[in-house]
């Protein structure tokens, strides 16, 4: 499953704003909601990179951003892409000429013992520059950064976006929709189907008429609904 | 009434803070520091940059005011930095005084109670540095407990970013019921007396949770 888009969803009842949930959408329109866990996990962003010119650039392949009332964080399709954003940043023009000590003071100025934890976990000399690290040493370095940023898995809920497999018509007007779900098919009245579509749970577009009524039609470029008898 | 304005007036009317705190909390200095950072050390790729400060009442009565401040600065990648601020004032002989944890937890036994209680609660939080397969921290230092506010039910300890958990997941807070503390803290301290009096009078506005705060106000009205 490849996620192509992500956005913030409100926190679960009773949770603070900072515990916002994140909605991920795959190519079929199915939704996965991540809640709980650390923000790094919810955003697939192990370095906790803010939304910025760098973190949201095409090369970094962010699929959206998530926010509470104060901060905005980049959201990546998976952990590997998020990790790549972190490591490319650390190897980039801002960080690579710095010593590990000054790099971590720049990374998080308020955590004075960041370098002590990283030095302790990696055994690297804090006075070495990032660009002097070989690949193995650099891996130990970013793994230690990820450790401090903390990656804790929370809860994932999968919400399938259903397909309209067929319709019933009466005097040329659709009144029932056959919805294909994982365990077979169910028939829904028109109003129920419209309600589902408005929640983004159906592959269909809602058309609102001037007289206040609404109907469903296939998504752009999709086949017409099949009339079942 | 605009409580943020009240807070601003209180600050400008000069309650006492020590010199180090004053420098750390001096917004003008922090703003200058921000401008200097982005103009000298920050890269175009790290922007856009921002500096936000919020200061609001958590508890407001005639005799006790507790305020929570949050400074959020984005002046670099990956995530800038944050700082939390708690200021709790009580009225003593017509003057507002700021209370510190040292005032209400003066003895080593008091301090150890507070430390161990915070540590116990943090160990249950799966997002803190005290949990997980390889916890980053095993013992909470008392020196890390200094930012706090009160509401009508709790003493709320707020930990600075990256002290007990990742900065992105904060603020990490420990709420200790005031009823529990009555047997532990310096009950005869003027702040404790004033807080009890304010809570008993039921003439106060209180909430740590801002959404709940507005709901409560609406219900009362």
A74-78, B9-13, B167-171, B190-194: the lowest-pLDDT one? B9-13
Q: With bands split at pLDDT 50, 70 and 90, how would you rate the model's confidence at B213?
A: low
User: What is residue A131's predicted lDDT score, i.e. its pLDDT?
Assistant: 97
Residue of A12, A13, A37, A50 for testing the chain B interface, max B β-carbons within 10 Å = A50
Give pLDDT tens digits for B68-127: 999 999 999 999 899 999 999 999 988 999 999 999 999 999 999 999 999 999 999 999
**Contact of B198 with B122, CB cutoff 8 Å:** no
How close does chain B come to A146, measured CA to CA in Å?
10
Task: List, as ranges, residues 66-95 from B with C-beta within 8 Å of A.
Answer: 70, 72, 74, 76-83
User: What is residue B134's predicted lDDT score, i.e. its pLDDT?
Assistant: 87
User: What is residue B23's predicted lDDT score, i.e. its pLDDT?
Assistant: 57
- Give the number of C-alpha atoms closer than 13 A to the C-alpha of residue B45, restricted to the C-beta side: 18
Mean local confidence (pLDDT), A26-40: 92
Q: Do A54 and B83 touch (CB under 8 A)?
A: no
Q: Please check the confidence at residue A23 and state whether its pLDDT lies above 70.
A: yes
User: What is residue A61's predicted lDDT score, i.e. its pLDDT?
Assistant: 97
Of B188, B192, B193, B216, which is closest to residue B204 (Cα–Cα)? B216
The Cα–Cα gap between B191 and B92 comes to: 8
**Contact of B178 with B195, CB cutoff 8 Å:** yes
The Cα–Cα gap between A105 and A31 comes to: 38
Domain ranges (residues) in chain A: 3-156, 162-217
Q: Do B45 and A150 touch (CB under 8 A)?
A: no
Give pLDDT tens digits for A97-156: 999 999 999 999 888 899 999 999 999 999 999 999 999 999 999 999 999 999 999 999
Contacts of B45 in chain A (CB under 8 A): 52-54, 57, 92, 94
Taking all residues of chain B, what is their mean pLDDT, rounded to a whole number? 86
Q: Please check the confidence at residue B22 and state whether its pLDDT lies above 50.
A: no
Q: How many helices (H) and strands (E) does chain B have?
A: 8, 8
What percent of chain B lies above the pLDDT cut of 70? 83
The Cα–Cα gap between B159 and A30 comes to: 38
How close does chain B come to A194, measured CA to CA in Å?
32
Residue written as token pair 């609406």? B218
How close does chain A come to B91, measured CA to CA in Å?
31
Token digits of residue B120: 């116990």
Residue A18 in contact with partner chain B when CB distance is under 8 A: yes
Chain A: residue whose CA lies nearest to B79: A50
Mean local confidence (pLDDT), B63-70: 96
Mean local confidence (pLDDT), B130-151: 94
Mean local confidence (pLDDT), B11-34: 63
User: What is residue A57's predicted lDDT score, i.e. its pLDDT?
Assistant: 95
Give long-range contacts, CB 8 A cutoff, 24+ apart: B4-7: B4/B55, B4/B56, B4/B57, B6/B57, B6/B60, B6/B65, B7/B55, B7/B56, B7/B57, B7/B65, B7/B67
Give pLDDT tens digits for A149-181: 999 999 999 988 889 999 999 988 899 999 988
Q: Which residues on adjacent β-strands are paired with residue A99?
A: A129
> Is-above-0.90 flag for pTM?
no
Token digits of residue B152: 């009508």
Residue A206 in contact with partner chain B when CB distance is under 8 A: no
């Amino acid at each position: 499953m490849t996620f192509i888009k992500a956005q913030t969803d409100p926190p679960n009842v009773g949770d603070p704003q900072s515990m916002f949930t994140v909605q991920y959408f795959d190519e079929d329109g199915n939704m996965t909601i991540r809640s709980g866990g650390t923000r790094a996990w919810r955003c697939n962003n192990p370095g906790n990179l803010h939304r910025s010119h760098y973190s949201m650039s095409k090369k970094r392949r962010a699929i959206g951003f998530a926010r509470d009332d104060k901060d905005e964080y980049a959201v990546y399709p998976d952990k590997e892409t998020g990790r790549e954003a972190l490591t490319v940043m650390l190897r980039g023009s801002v960080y690579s000429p710095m010593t590990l000590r000054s790099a971590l003071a720049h990374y998080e100025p308020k955590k004075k013992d960041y370098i002590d934890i990283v030095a302790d976990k990696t055994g690297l000399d804090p006075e070495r520059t990032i660009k002097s690290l070989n690949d193995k040493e650099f891996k130990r370095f970013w793994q230690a950064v990820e450790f401090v940023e903390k990656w804790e898995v929370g809860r994932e809920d999968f919400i399938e976006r259903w397909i309209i497999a067929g319709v019933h018509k009466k005097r040329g007007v659709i009144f029932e929709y056959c919805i294909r779900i994982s365990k077979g098919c169910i028939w829904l009245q028109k109003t129920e189907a419209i309600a589902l579509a408005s929640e983004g749970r159906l592959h269909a577009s809602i058309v609102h008429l001037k007289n206040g009524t609404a109907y469903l039609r296939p998504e752009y470029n999709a086949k017409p609904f099949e009339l079942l008898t | 009434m605009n409580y943020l304005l009240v807070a601003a007036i209180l600050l400008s009317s000069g309650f006492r803070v020590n010199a180090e705190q004053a420098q750390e909390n001096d917004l003008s200095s922090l703003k200058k520091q921000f401008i200097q950072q982005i103009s000298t050390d920050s890269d175009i790729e790290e922007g856009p940059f921002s500096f936000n400060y919020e200061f609001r009442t958590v508890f407001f009565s005639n005799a006790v005011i507790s305020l929570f401040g949050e400074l959020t600065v984005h002046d670099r990648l990956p995530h800038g930095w944050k700082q939390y601020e708690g200021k709790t004032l009580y009225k003593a002989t017509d003057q507002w005084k700021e209370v510190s944890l040292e005032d209400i937890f003066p003895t080593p036994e008091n301090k150890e109670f507070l430390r161990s209680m915070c540590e116990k609660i943090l160990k249950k939080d799966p997002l803190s540095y005290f949990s997980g397969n390889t916890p980053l921290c095993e013992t909470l230092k008392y020196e890390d407990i200094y930012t706090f506010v009160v509401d009508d039910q709790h003493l709320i300890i707020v930990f600075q970013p990256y002290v007990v958990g990742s900065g992105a997941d904060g603020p990490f807070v420990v709420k200790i019921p005031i009823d529990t503390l009555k047997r532990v803290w310096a009950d005869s301290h003027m702040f404790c007396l004033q807080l009890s009096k304010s809570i008993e009078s039921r003439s106060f506005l209180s909430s740590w949770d801002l959404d709940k705060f507005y709901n409560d106000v609406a219900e009362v009205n």
